[in-house]
Amino acid sequence: MVRIAIRADGGKGVGLGHIMRCLSLANAFRKAGHLVYFFTKYNMGIALLEKEKFEVIRIPSEEKETEGFFYGNSEQLVDEADVILGLLHQYKIDILIVDSYNITNQYFLTLKSSVSCLAYIDDENKSTYPVDVVINGNVTAAYLGYRKYDDNQVLLLGPQYNMIRDEFKNISPRGIRENVEEIMITTGGSDPYHMTEKLLNIFLNNDYFSKVRFNVLVGGGFTTSQELVDLSQNHDQVVLYSNTVADTPEIIRHSSISEIMLRSDIAISAGGSTLYEFAACGVPVLAFVVAENQRFLVEKMEHLGYIINLGWYNQICEEQVVDCTKRLMNDYAARTKMSSKCLELVDSLGSERIVKELTREFVSS
């Protein structure tokens, strides 16, 4: 049995994308008979991990919960590395997997000699990382120009290593309806820019969409839930969903995300790992960018014909949303082509491939 630690965070500011893909990987390790720990910080991510029955070790931190920039000073990151170092020895960890943007190469160098394998889940290739394995399961990985840190480093790049959640494995996508009847709107686990409310108001104020049902995912980190509840109460065509059961108003229905996706004809979604989940369901998507680390993915997926790119969230106007949505609704052939292409993007075996690579290359049986 191999002992694995995963360092990842999930919360209102950073979202749940890192935690969700690491959960898929953790489940694959667990199914293979290995022991998995999570080293993490924020309450929302911790609650999700504990729900999945993983052992969680909370890391103390004073940094603000935000993505892409480390609030604080470099000493705090050094202190965290020291904490992790102690935990690696305490729990006799063989493999450490890090999934965070707030990391430096010195952080990796501090930890590298204490485990048999140090792996980094990356999206952007901002550095040549001093780790044993770099994992990038995005369609963009082949275009980022990765170079090995040394001859022994292993690069696991491309959609064949995409860590899609178990919920989307072996899924049976439905056919494409000629007429669009239902549209899904999602921004993920949180919506700091209130895009869900903005998009709904655009559609509700346009008679063209008066017969369309809007399936709206309300994430656990939403701060505008009451506004969405009001819209749903005032408009029968707005149906609110949550994939959690904790403290949600009665009007918000509980459902798995895959069920909502599969009943929707098209979707409007923030960029990120959710796009692969829509692909697994064969749902045509109009995507918008809410963070810099999503930009290249959304642009490349549009270029390759998987999605339609609406651009940055703060530059989207009413006319653009209406026009793009209407054109996709009215083009059955385009929707069918997008759906078929998306179904070929991920085969849902990425996590299992990563488990085999990490345990075969670095841990003796």
- Cβ-Cβ contacts under 8 Å for 138 (sequence gap 6 or more): 123, 158, 159, 162, 297
Contact 142, 122 (CB under 8 A): no
Phi-psi label, residue 326: left if phi above 0, alpha if psi -120 to 50, beta otherwise: alpha
Does 357 belong to an annotated binding site? no
Q: Which two tokens stand for residue 171?
A: 């899924």
Find residue 84's DSSP bridge partners: none
Nearest-angstrom CA–CA distance, 54 and 70:
27
Nearest-angstrom CA–CA distance, 132 and 284:
37
Nearest-angstrom CA–CA distance, 133 and 119:
5
Residue 26 phi, psi (nearest 5): -65, -40
Q: Please identify which of the residues 18, 194, 235, 254 carries the catalytic annotation.
A: 18
Of 320, 328, 327, 335, which Cα lies nearest the Cα of 202? 320
| Amino acid letter, residue 197 | E
Does 165 belong to an annotated binding site? yes
DSSP string, 323-362: HHHHHHHT-HHHHHHHHHHHHTT--S-HHHHHHHHHHHHH
Check if 18 is active-site. Answer: yes
| Strands annotated E in the chain | 3-8, 35-40, 55-58, 95-99, 117-121, 133-136, 154-157, 182-186, 213-217, 238-242, 253-254, 266-270, 285-289, 308-312
| Helix residue ranges per DSSP H, 32-172 | 43-51, 74-90, 105-112
Residue set of the binding site: 165, 277
Q: Which active-site residues does the annotation give? A: 18
